[in-house]
Structures are given as structure tokens and as C-alpha cells.
Chains A and B, each alone.
Chain A
Amino acid sequence: MGFIVLGVVLGPVVLLLISFLIPQGRASRIFVEISAVLFFLSAVYLFINPASHVDCFYLPHIVWKLIALLTTVFVFVVSLLDKHYIISVLTFIQSITLAVFEIFNSPQEAVPFLSFNYDGKVLLLAGSFIMAFFIPITLIYLKKYFSQKKSVKIQEKQIEAGILLLMAAFAGLAAANSVTGLFLFCQWMYIAIGLFLRAFKNSGRKRAAGILIVQQLVLTVWMASIPFIYQKTGSLYINGLNAEIGEIRVLIAVMVFALAIVIGCLIPDRYIWETFFSMPTPVSGIAALILSVMSPIAVLLKFSFLFTGLNNKILTLMIIFGSLVMVGGAYYSCISRKAMQILQGILMSVAGWGISTIFISRESMFFTVGYTAAAAITVTFLFACVTILEYMKGTQDVEHMYNLHREMPEMTIFMSAAMILFLFAPFYSALQRLLYVRFLADNPVSMLLTITALILVSAVIFRWLSVLLSAGDKTSIESDSYPVIFRIILPIAFVLVAAANLMLGSVYHYFQYQPIPMGYLPAENIEAYSNLEGILYMLTPGKGLIYAGGAIIILGACFYIMHRLNKSEKTADDTQSRVFYHYSLTAWIPSGANPGIILRTGWISLMILIAGVALSCLK
């Protein structure tokens, strides 16, 4: 068991080193895919097996300390070579702080350094599934992408290295028990994204440098605070922060919050996302899914005990910030036409909801984990579909998806069903519970923002569905250009996506039977939540199940009858061409109003307020 925990985190790094020995090409692609599958299988094993600290395998403390120091020095050297002097100064400060701290204090690292609790296991399972499913599609796409370019071997290697490091960093963030471990895995995440950005050199990369500086700045502050945390608590153990640490607790909570937000690039500002994720669709998707959704939630869950007993003012502000991220994501997906940007907006919305609900209570944490995992898997599936479409049609513009149901009926059905599953997930499982938890009772502003975001995401999905199922000009897709692997992967993945969504309610049952870790508050009414009726709750035949199942059967039968009756008839619109295209969902907004500016003002004000309230606690 201990080996598996260690293997999930360090395995991808070892595989990364081995991959340098494999010549670039098909072999290295297969190697990366096998690594992703192994990562997924390890996650499944960890999920199935009950955790025990007794049979854990521990690495000596010095190894982790050396890895942390070497990582920081590596970032320092690379930034120096890249002439990113601000980043090099910051990483230099981090290295010195780390070295001095180790020399003078030589603290004992947390034991175990890595371990997964049950929410971490669920997130790891979802994240590893995303990797295992999405990586083959990504690599096939990139093969075509790079075939049109020269001298690409280094870039391909960078992407493959980035993917492996991303796996390790994500698993590390979900498993870290130490505050230095958190720093180390954030740095790995930073390097992984840096490799992606390096592989796709464009004008966006220069602009992304600003975000990278902010990320390193936050990491420097975190590193600088570690000696103080050690002084106060006497250990580097994250759960050690549960001890009586006075008002500094608020400051640490705000730093963790800032770390999760900045590392995950969860700022409700389109300019920042577009700059940071200006990469081809699959790479951008995989980065956004792991970096912006799974990792921040994993980090915040780790510190949930710190947030639950926090100053009410600051908690409210954090919840509103999460809701603002949600609205920002939803709004920007409304005004986008590119499928990638729409999905990124939806992802931000999912992450925002997670941030809003994570701080409230034990029940809302369960909701956050379940919903985040299921939504991330569904959006991954949509990302995969968009990648395949771009691979075959050369475009990801939603407006160009007309007539898809004739060209690729199976793809249209999968996409439509996945979208509907995503759209109704809050209704059949989560929103009801969300309304019951204290989120609704205490946070009216957040609730209104959440509702706004939900309906905006619904509108985006409706628009997309209306395009997917509508008639359009006939274009042809050559059946030869649809790789067999896509035909195999998509149906399997769809079944898993449907299962993940429809069995979301079972996640609550799973959590119900898990032991409560030390320092955590027990769930208050989990029994009541688990037994709520009236909503689609798989495994228990209720009204919701009858409603959904019955409707699907009747609709299927109606469609079959109509199709049979009209089989020989020619359609009236085959020869016409489409004359009208969609316009923005926000076309009605008066020209004087700029929601983007309002959102920007909102998040900056909230950030200032959060920082102000946190500092005021130090008096």
C-alpha cells in the first residue's frame, strides 16, 4: 500500500526520467500512455483498498528535503537562463529560505509525508481517469498538429514531460501532509505548465509571464511563512495547524486560499485565462482540468478544518469570491464561440462552485468532491469530443458544428447526452443538498450569483445543443480520417461518464462509511441527505428515476416510429443552405454596460477585502 502511494506520486517522475532514454516518436507516445494507464490503475487500487498508516512505506526525510531544494534550484536556474529575472530572484529567496530553515531548525517532516484520505482518493481517481482517457486523444492530435511544423521533437518531448510531471504534481497535492510538501508539489505543477507554455511559443507566452511571477510570489510568501508555522505549531504537519495558533490561523487560511487560487489561475478574468491557457485544445484542456479544477479543490479540502472555524466575515468573502469565479466562467463561456473557450469557462464555473461550497460544512465538502469529480470527467469527455472534431474538421467553432448529427451521429449523441448529464447534475443530486446545507441559509449573495452562473451555463449548453442537433449545409467527413482508437475510446468513456454522473448520489454513501479523520467535524445530517427522495438517485428506484427512465423510453420509441415512417421520404431542407448564424447570448446587454469590467472590479475588490480583513485579525 505504501509503495503504491509513493509510486503514484514519484512514479510519474521516474517514468519521466526513463522517457528521456526513449527516442521521440511512436514509442515515447505509447510509453506516456502506458504511464497514464498505470497511474489510473494505481488510483483504482488506492480507492478500493482501505488506507492504513501502519503498512506505509516512508522515504527518509532528507530525501524529500533534497527534492524540494533541488526543485527550487532547478526553477531558479531555468528562469535565469530564460532571463526571467524576477522569477529567478523569487526562487533564489525560496532556495535560501529553505536551506537556512533546514540548517538552523532541521525540522522533522510530516509522517507520513504522503497519504490519501477518502476525499483525496475520489479526486485522484477522477484525475487519473481524466489523464488515462484524455492522453491518447491528446497525443494523436498533437502528432497531426506537429506534422505541419518543423523541428518539433523537443516540443513533443516537453509536452510528454509536462504531462508526466502534471500527474505527479496533482497526486502529490492530493496526498501531501506537509506544508513543505505542498510547496514542492506546487513547484512541480508550475514546472509542468511551464513546459507546456514553452512547447507552444507564441505571443501569449510572454503575457503569461506576469501570471507566472504572481504564482512564484505567492509560493515565496508561502515558503517564507513555513518557519513561522513551524515555530507556532512545532511541526510541519498540515493537520498540526489545527492546534491553538491564535489569530495567525486566519492569515494561514488566507494564504492557503490565495495559493489555491493563484496556482489554479482561478481569477474571473478572461484576459488572464486566455493568456495562460493559450495552447492547443487538448493540452489546454488537460492543463485547465488538473491545474484549475482538481488541484485547487484538493488543496482546499486538505485545509478544510482550518476554514470551518474561521472568522465569519472572511469566510463570507471567500464564498462570494468562489461564486464570482463561477459567474465569471459562465459569463465568458456565454460570449465565446470557440468550443475550447466555452469549456474552459464551464470548468472555471465548476471550480468556482467547488470553492464556494467547500468551506461551509462537512456535507458541502462531500458535495464538492462528488460534483467536482463528476463534472470534471464530463467536461473532459466534451474536451475529447471537441479535440476529435478539430482533428477531423480543422475547426472548433461551435457555429461550424451544424449538421454534425448527420455526419457523425454517434458523436452528436454522446456530446448531447454528456451535456444534458452535466446540465442536470445539480438538479438530480447536488442542488437539493446544497439548498439544505448552510450555504443557502447564510449566503444570499453567493446563492444569487450561483443561480446566475447555473442559468448562464444552461444557456450556453442549450445554444450548443441547438447547433448540434440542427440542420445545416452538407459537408463531408471522410470516414478514413476518423482513427479507430477514437471509435473505441469514445463509447467506453461515455459509459463511464454517464455512470459517474448518475451514481453521484452514491458518493455520499461512500463518504458516509468512511472514518472521520482527527480534527474534522462530523457531518451533521448526512443520513438525511443520503435518503432524500424525489431526486434522481440511482440504485434506489425513486420518482426521479422513473421520470427520467420513462421519458427516455417514450422519447426513444417516438423517434423510432417517426424515423420508420419517414425513412423513404426526402427531407425538404437538404438542398437549401443556411442563411442565418447565431449571435451572442449577451447581445441584449446595453452597450454602456460591460460585465467584464464589473467582474474585474468585483474580484479585485474582494481580494483587497480578504487581505484587509486577514491583516486586521493580527491586531
Chain B
Amino acid sequence: MLEIILWFIGIIIIVPIIYLTENFILNAIPGQKRTYLLQPIYRLIKHFSKTDYYNRPLTRWFPVGACLFALITLYFVAAGENILLIISGLTMMELFVLVGACSTKEPYGIMAAQRGIARLTVWSFTLMTAAASLYKVTETLQLSRVIQYSSENILLVRLPLVTAGLFTAAMIKGNLGYFDFGINANAMSFLDTALYTPYGGRSLGVVQLTQWIETGIWLKLISYFLPWKPWISFLVSTIFYLAAMLLSTIVPRMSWKKVMTNSWIWAGGLPAINYIWLYML
């Protein structure tokens, strides 16, 4: 139990550190926007000091729901629970985010929610194919048992494309690089994405927390597929994600239809190929 709690708290702490590191590195690169080093944390604190733009209880309730499900899912992923529970938790979290975006009459919010639903089809396909592949290889869906398997037989060797697909799904959720579904096509952070236009003040702070927790969930999930000790695997997946965040700043943006096609090819196609490949071997 102590280990689970440590992982739970550790992931919550590490994800903001990734954003701080990204901020630090970007500040050091010439030609990039310069901000305060602690800008992401400062922004979060600032949000919590403001009042909401919309006073509708329902609109303010959705981020709370999303955050709750993110925390539950984080617990599941830290405890190495059944991957189907993690999928259901992430789906519920997304439901709250998407419905929340439609809960006001913000046209950009509604449009982003529509794209969010389309995006959901991609990453949930990836996750479910990953679950099916995982079961095919390890004959279990319990992630805690997957660690055991992964340490004895290198799981990555049998599921390389599934791991790559999951990483792409994490990039899709983080609006990174060629997988940016943001409307303004210049998403420096989640705040620029239209999905969160209905929120302001505390609600937006809760949304930001939710997104950090979600990033942590994806990183921990990917780390289960890596062959090293859990903390090393998590560190490796974190470094890869940070690299993707940094690369994202120099990658040109595309129209969302193109992004959707890219997402299906990389996040949907790779795990599907791996899954069929398991039957061929």
C-alpha cells in the first residue's frame, strides 16, 4: 500500500516538474518565448485565486468530475490494477471534459468537443488494442502481473508497436507535434486549446490539475511495457515525453483532419499491426 501511495504522490509531483523542465529548456533556447521559470506553477496558483467566468453549477461541476476520475485512474494505474478499469476511468474523465466543453454556448468549446470526441475514438482504440495485445502475450490484464512478466521476458520485444502506439496516444492527449488537435494551431500549453474555453478561475485550475494527472497516468501506463525496474521505466517514458514536448515547439501545425489521419495511422495502425503480428508469429 505504501508503494502505491508513493507512486501516487510521486506521479503528481513529477508531472509538473516535466512542465517546469520544458519551460526551463525553452527559455534557454534562442528564439523561443521567454517566461518565468515557475510559470506553470504560478499560473495554477493564479487560477485558484480567481473566480469562475461562468457561474453555472453544471459547468463548474464537470472539471471536478474529470479531476475525480483522473485521481481514481491514477490510483488504479499506480496500483497496477486491471487495464480495463483504467480505460473506463480515462473514458469517464474524458466524458466530463467533453460534456463540460459543451455545457455553455461557447462555439469554439463545442467545436473542440466535437474534435475531442473524434480524438477519443483514436486513443480508446489504441488502449483497447493494447489491452487485447497485452492479454494475448501475458494472459492477464492486471498490470501488477504484467510487471512480473516484463521483468522475466522482455515485453517490449513482443509489443514494440503497441508501446509506440501508446506513446503516440499520450502525444495525442497532450496535443503534441503532429498530433495537435488545438484550434489555434499554436498551442503552447493546454490553456490555448478551445476545449477549455468555458472555464475560468478555479475551474480552469482544476482542469490544469486534471491534465497533469492524466499525463502522469499515460506515462506510468507506458512504463509497464518497458523492461527495466518500475521507476527507471517511468523515468525513461518521462524523458521521452519531455523530448516530444520540446520537439513539438518546432514541428509545424496541421489542419485537424490531417492530424486525425496521422493519429489513426500512428496510434491506431501501429497497435493493430502488432496485434495481428502476434498471431503470425
Asked if B253 is at the interface (CB within 8 A of a chain A CB), the reply is no
| A572, closest chain B residue (CB) | B54
Point out the residues of chain B lying under 8 angstroms from A467, CB to CB: 102
B 111-126 to A, binary, CB cutoff 8 A, 1 in contact else 0 = 1011001101100110
Tell me if A551 and B104 are in contact (CB < 8 A): no
| Complex CA distance for A459 and B260, rounded to whole angstroms | 15
**Interchain CB contact (< 8 A) of B103 among A440, A471, A543, A577:** A471
Q: Which residue of B lies closest to A445 (CB)?
A: B276
Cβ contact within 8 Å between B132 and A447: yes
A448 touches B88 (CB 8 A): no
Q: Contacting chain A: which of B56-64, B149-157, B209-217, B244-252?
A: B56-64
Q: Is the CB of B56 within 8 A of A462?
A: no
A543 & B117 in contact (Cβ 8 Å cutoff)? no
**Is there an interface contact between B107 and A579, defined as CB atoms closer than 8 Å?**
yes
Confirm or deny: A516 has a beta carbon within 8 angstroms of a beta carbon on chain B: no
- Cβ contacts A555-569/B at 8 Å (1 or 0 each): 100110011011001
Closest to B96 in A: A555
What distance in Å separates the Cβ of A112 from its nearest Cβ neighbour in chain B? 42
B95 adjacent to A465 (CB under 8 Å): yes
Interfacial residues of chain B within 91-142, with CB under 8 A of chain A in the complex: 91-92, 94-95, 98-99, 101-105, 107, 110-111, 113-114, 117-118, 120-121, 124-125, 128-129, 131-132, 135-136, 141-142
Cβ contact within 8 Å between A534 and B85: yes
CB of B137, distance to nearest CB on chain A (Å): 12
Chain A facing B: main interface SS: helix
Q: With an 8 A cutoff between CB atoms, is A571 at the interface?
A: yes
Given A405-B58, A572-B56, A588-B118: A427 touches B87 (CB 8 Å cut-off):
yes
Q: Does B81 belong to the interface (CB within 8 Å)?
A: yes
Q: Mark A527-570, 1 if CB is under 8 A from B, else 0.
A: 00000001100000001100100010011001100110110011
Interface residues of A in 572-597 (CB under 8 A from B): 572-573, 576-580, 582-583, 585, 587-588, 590
CB distance from A92 to the nearest CB of B (A): 50
Asked whether any CB of chain B lies closer than 8 Å to the CB of A456, the reply is yes
Q: Is B224 an interface residue (CB 8 A)?
A: no
What B residues does A191 contact at CB under 8 A? none
B279 interface residue per 8 A CB criterion: yes
CA gap between A448 and B275 in the complex, in Å: 9
**Which A residues lie within 8 Å of B113 (CB)?**
466
A588 touches B260 (CB 8 A): yes
CB distance from A356 to the nearest CB of B (A): 14
A451→B121 CA distance, assembly (Å): 10
How many contacts A-B (CB < 8 Å)?
Answer: 161
Whether B72 is near chain A, meaning CB under 8 Å from some CB there, is: yes
Beta-carbon nearest neighbor of A532 in chain B:
B82
Residues 476-520 of A contacting B (Cβ, < 8 Å) = none
B18 is an interface residue with CB less than 8 A from chain A: no
**Is A555 within 8 A of B257, CB to CB?**
no
Chain A contacts for B65, CB-based, 8 A: 555, 558
**B103 and A469 contact, CB distance less than 8 A:** yes
Give the size of the chain A interface in residues (CB under 8 angstroms).
61
* Residue among B76, B95, B272 with most chain A CB within 10 A: B95
CB contacts (< 8 Å) of A559 on chain B: these are 57-58, 61
Contacts of A577 in B (CB 8 A): 105
Which residues of A are found within 8 Å of B243, using beta-carbon distances? Answer: none
CB distance from A412 to the nearest CB of B (A): 11
Interchain CA distance A558-B69 in the complex, whole Å = 13
The stretch from A233-241, A313-321, A428-436 touching chain B is A428-436
Binary A-proximity of B262-281 (CB < 8 A = 1, otherwise 0): 00000000001001101100
**In the assembled complex, how far is the CB of residue A56 from the closest CB belonging to chain B, in whole angstroms?**
44
Is residue A441 contacting chain B, with contact meaning CB distance below 8 A?
yes
Which residues A61-78 have CB closer than 8 A to chain B? none
| B159 smallest CB distance to A (angstroms) | 14
> Across the interface, do B110 and A470 meet the contact criterion of CB distance under 8 Å?
yes
A296 to chain B, nearest CB (A): 26
Question: From residue 5 to 54 of chain A, which have CB atoms closer than 8 A to chain B?
Answer: none
Give me 15 other A-B pairs in contact (C-beta within 8 A), A551-B72, A559-B58, A576-B105 excluded: A427-B84, A428-B88, A435-B132, A455-B125, A462-B117, A465-B95, A469-B102, A471-B103, A547-B85, A555-B61, A555-B65, A571-B56, A577-B105, A578-B105, A585-B114
Q: List 20 A-B contacts (CB under 8 A).
A: A424-B88, A427-B88, A435-B135, A448-B129, A454-B128, A455-B120, A459-B117, A462-B117, A465-B95, A466-B113, A470-B99, A471-B104, A472-B105, A534-B81, A555-B64, A565-B57, A579-B105, A587-B118, A588-B261, A590-B257
